[in-house]
C-alpha cells in the first residue's frame, strides 16, 4: 500500500522563514553562577575523524575520551545491580523525575510499538535495540526484576555516560555506573552521601545525544547494511545547525534548586523532552492565498535543527486532505506522506531491520517551503464537498508498516480549512 501520490513539491526560495537554528537561544540571562553556557554551542564537523562504520557497542568499563571530558573514573566493582532506579533520584530531584516520567525516554523499553517491533526483529539485532532503548540491560543489569518494570532511558541511562566516541555512522557510548558518580553539566558541584559528581561538558553538546540518536548503518550477519535507523545527529551536522540539541529539546525552566535543599541555579534544563506536538511554533502550515482553478494548495515549512520527520527512520509526517459534505460527512481523504521510505528486495515497504534499500527520501528540510496541491473533486464524482480540512499529522511509526509496529496514534500538529466553492483566485 502506498499512502501518497506523486505530489507537487516546490521550494519557494524567497520564503522569509524564521529558522530556529540561527535564532538566539531563548533563555533567561544567566544569574552569575559558574554554569558554563559556552559548551551549548553545537560544533558541527568537530566530531573527530570518520572511523569505520560499526554498530554502537556498550562497554560497562569506564573510560575517558581524549579532549572531551577530563573525567577519570576509577573502576568500581562490577556489581550486578548498577543503575539506580529513578524513584531514588526523585527523593532529591523530584521535578526532574516528574518531567522525565512523561517523556518518551521513560517508555523507551516498553512502548507498544517498541515491544511489538522488538519481538519481530531478528534475534541477532535485539541487543542492538537494547543498547539504545534499555541501556541498563546493555550495561549488564537484569532486565526484568520482579515488581520492577524496566525504565527505558532512565536517569542513570544518561547520567552515567562518561564518554561518547563519534564514528561516521554510529556513536559509541561508555557507561560508568559503578563508580557512583553522576556525570552532569555543573562544574565543581560537591558530592554528598548519595552520589559523587563528575563535571561533564559533553552533557551540553549534541555529541552526547548522538550516543543514541545517531545510527546510519548497521551490520546483519556480518555484513554492513547502509540503512539509517536514527538520523537526528547526521542531519543536524549536515545542516550545520548552530544550536545544540539541548538548546531546543531541554529548554530552561528558570532559576530553581537542582536538588531538594540546594540553592537555586539559573537555567535548569527541562527533562520533559517534548515530542512533535509541543514544538509547534517552529512549524508553519497555511493555505496558499492564490490557487489554480479547481485546486487548493497548502504551504508549509519548519525551523527544526534537522530534517522532519526526524529521528527514527520509520516515522512519518502526513499532509491529510479531507473533503466534507454539507452535513459534515467525510466524502474522501487523501494523504501525502513525508519520511524515508525503506523497502525490501522485492520493493515492498519494510521496517529498517528488514529493509535492504532506501526507496525514497522525502523529508522536509528546515528553512524550505513545501507546497501540496489537492484537486477539488469534479461535480460528476458524487455529492459536492462544501469544505476542505487540511491537517499536518505526526505518525510515530509508518501506517503502512502497522503489521510490524501496530497502528500509529496520529497527532494533529496543525490544521486549517477552506470553504468551497472557492472564489476565483482566493480562499
Ligand atoms: C536523555 C538523557 C537524560 C535523561 C534520561 C535524564 N537526564 Fe538529567 N540531564 C541531561 C542533560 C543532557 C543535562 C544537561 C542539559 C544542559 O545543561 O543543557 C541534564 C541535567 C541534569 C541535572 C543538572 C541540572 C542543572 O541545572 O544543570 C540533574 C540534577 C539531572 N539532569 C538529573 C536527572 C534526573 C534525576 C533524571 C531522571 C529523573 C534525569 N536527569 C534524566 C540528560 C538526561
Ligand atoms: C540525597 C539527595 C540526592 C539524591 C537521592 C540524588 N541526588 Fe543528584 N544531586 C543532589 C545534589 C545536592 C546535587 C547538587 C545540586 C547543586 O549543586 O545545585 C545533585 C546533582 C546532581 C547532578 C548534577 C551533577 C553535575 O556535576 O552536573 C546530576 C546529574 C544528578 N544529581 C543526578 C542524580 C541521579 C541520576 C540520581 C539518582 C540515581 C540522583 N542524582 C540522586 C542530591 C541528590
Ligand atoms: C533549532 C531547534 C532544534 C535543534 C537544534 C534540534 N531539534 Fe530536534 N526537533 C526540533 C523541532 C521543531 C522538532 C519537530 C517538532 C514537530 O514535529 O513539531 C524536532 C523533533 C525531534 C525529534 C522527534 C520528536 C517527535 O516526536 O517527532 C527528535 C528525536 C529530535 N528532534 C532530536 C534532536 C536531536 C538528537 C538533536 C541534536 C542532534 C536535535 N533534535 C536538534 C527542534 C530542534
Ligand atoms: C541512552 C540513549 C539515549 C540518549 C543518550 C538520548 N536519547 Fe533521546 N531517545 C532515546 C530513545 C530510545 C528514544 C525513543 C523512545 C521511544 O521508544 O519512544 C528517544 C526519544 C527522544 C525524543 C522523542 C520524544 C517524543 O516524544 O517522540 C526526543 C525529542 C529525544 N529523544 C531527544 C534527546 C536529546 C535532546 C538527547 C540529548 C540531550 C537525547 N535524546 C539523548 C534514547 C536516548
Ligand atoms: C542507535 C540507537 C537505537 C537503536 C540501535 C535502535 N533504536 Fe529505536 N529509536 C531510537 C531513538 C533515538 C528513537 C526515537 C527517535 C525519534 O523519536 O524520532 C527510536 C524510536 C523507535 C521506535 C518508535 C518510538 C516508539 O517506541 O514508539 C520504535 C518502534 C523503535 N525505535 C524500535 C527499535 C527496534 C525494534 C530496534 C532494534 C531492531 C531499535 N529501535 C534500535 C534509537 C535506537
pLDDT higher than threshold 50 for residue 97: yes
**Entry pTM:** 0.86
Rounded Cα distance between 114 and 128, Å, is 13
Query: Has residue 247 been placed in a domain?
Result: no
Query: Has residue 316 been placed in a domain?
Result: yes
Question: Which residue, 216, 230, 233, 234, is CA-closest to 315?
Answer: 230
Binning the chain into helix, strand and coil, the percentages to the nearest 5 are: 20, 25, 50
Provide the 8-state DSSP code for 290.
S
Q: Are residues 87 and 209 in the same domain?
A: yes
For ligand 5, atom 12, name the residue with the nearest CA: 213
Residue range(s) defining the domain that contains residue 371: 277-419
Q: Which three cell numbers stand for residue 401?
A: 508498516
pLDDT higher than threshold 70 for residue 394: yes
The residues that bridge with 181 in the sheet, in sequence order, are 196
Query: Is 406:116 a contact under the CB 8 Å cutoff?
Result: yes
Query: Has residue 162 been placed in a domain?
Result: yes
Query: Has residue 30 been placed in a domain?
Result: no
* First CA to last CA distance, the chain: 33
Total domain count for the chain?
2
Q: Are residues 374 and 310 in the same domain?
A: yes
Query: Has residue 252 been placed in a domain?
Result: no
Q: Are residues 234 and 358 in the same domain?
A: no
pLDDT higher than threshold 90 for residue 33: no
Say how many Å lie between the CA of residue 174 and the centre of ligand 4: 17
Q: Are residues 237 and 282 in the same domain?
A: no
Query: Has residue 209 been placed in a domain?
Result: yes
Q: Are residues 195 and 85 in the same domain?
A: yes
The average pLDDT across 259-265 equals 94
Q: Are residues 225 and 282 in the same domain?
A: no
The average pLDDT across 313-318 equals 96
Query: Has residue 52 been placed in a domain?
Result: yes
Q: Are residues 195 and 321 in the same domain?
A: no
In short, whether 256's Cβ falls inside 6 Å of ligand 2 is: no
Query: Is 53:170 a contact under the CB 8 Å cutoff?
Result: yes
Q: What's the CATH code of the domain at 371?
A: 2.60.40
For ligand 1, atom 36, name the residue with the nearest CA: 155
CA 219 to chain CA mean position, Å: 22
- pLDDT tens string 205-248: 999 999 999 999 999 888 899 999 999 999 899 888 889 999 98
Query: Has residue 305 been placed in a domain?
Result: yes
In short, whether 393's Cβ falls inside 6 Å of ligand 3 is: no
Amino acid at each position: 500500500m502506498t499512502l501518497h501520490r506523486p505530489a507537487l513539491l516546490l521550494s519557494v526560495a524567497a520564503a522569509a522563514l524564521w529558522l530556529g537554528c540561527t535564532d538566539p537561544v531563548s533563555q533567561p540571562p544567566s544569574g552569575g553562577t559558574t554554569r558554563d553556557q559556552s559548551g551549548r554551542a553545537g560544533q558541527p564537523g568537530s566530531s573527530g575523524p570518520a572511523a569505520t562504520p560499526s554498530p554502537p557497542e556498550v562497554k560497562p568499563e569506564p573510560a575517558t575520551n581524549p579532549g572531551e571530558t577530563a573525567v577519570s573514573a576509577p573502576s568500581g566493582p562490577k556489581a550486578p545491580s548498577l543503575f539506580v532506579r529513578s524513584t531514588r533520584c526523585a527523593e532529591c530531584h523530584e521535578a526532574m523525575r516528574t518531567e522525565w516520567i512523561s517523556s518518551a525516554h521513560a517508555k523507551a523499553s516498553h512502548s507498544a510499538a517498541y515491544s511489538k517491533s522488538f519481538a519481530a526483529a531478528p534475534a541477532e539485532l535485539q541487543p542492538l535495540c537494547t543498547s539504545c532503548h534499555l541501556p541498563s540491560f546493555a550495561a549488564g543489569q537484569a532486565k526484568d526484576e520482579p515488581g520492577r518494570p524496566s525504565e527505558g532511558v532512565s536517569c542513570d541511562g544518561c547520567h552515567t555516560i562518561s564518554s561518547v566516541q563519534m564514528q561516521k555512522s554510529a556513536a559509541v557510548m561508555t557507561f560508568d555506573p559503578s563508580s557512583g558518580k553522576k556525570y552532569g553539566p555543573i562544574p565543581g558541584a560537591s558530592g554528598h552521601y548519595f552520589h559523587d559528581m563528575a563535571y561533564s561538558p559533553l552533557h551540553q553538546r549534541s555529541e552526547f545525544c548522538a550516543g543514541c540518536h545517531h545510527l546510519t548503518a548497521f551490520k546483519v550477519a556480518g555484513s554492513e547494511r547502509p540503512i539509517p535507523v536514527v538520523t537526528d545527529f547526521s542531519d543536524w551536522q549536515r545542516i550545520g545547525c548552530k544550536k545544540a540539541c539541548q538548546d531546543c529539546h531541554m529548554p530552561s525552566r528558570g532559576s530553581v534548586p537542582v536538588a531538594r535543599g540546594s540553592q537555586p541555579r539559573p537555567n535548569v534544563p527541562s527533562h520533559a523532552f517534548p515530542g512533535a506536538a509541543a514544538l509547534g511554533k517552529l512549524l508553519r502550515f497555511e493555505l496558499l492565498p492564490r490557487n489554480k482553478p479547481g485546486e487548493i494548495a497548502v504551504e508549509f515549512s519548519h525551523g527544526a535543527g534537522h530534517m522532519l520527520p526526524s529521528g527514527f527512520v520509520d516515522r512519518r509526517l502526513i499532509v491529510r486532505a479531507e473533503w466534507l459534505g454539507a452535513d459534515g460527512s467525510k466524502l474522501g481523504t487523501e494523504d501525502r506522506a513525508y519520511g524515508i521510505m525503506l523497502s525490501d528486495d522485492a520493493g515492498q515497504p519494510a521496517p529498517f531491520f528488514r529493509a535492504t534499500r532506501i526507496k525514497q527520501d522525502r523529508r522536509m528540510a528546515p528553512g524550505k517551503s513545501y507546497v501540496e496541491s489537492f484537486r477539488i473533486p469534479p461535480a460528476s464524482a458524487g455529492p459536492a464537498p462544501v469544505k476542505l480540512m487540511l491537517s499536518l499529522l505526526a505518525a510515530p511509526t509508518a501506517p503502512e508498516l502497522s503489521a510490524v509496529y501496530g497502528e500509529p496514534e496520529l497527532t494533529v500538529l496543525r490544521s486549517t480549512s477552506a470553504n468551497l466553492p472557492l472564489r476565483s483566485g482566493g480562499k
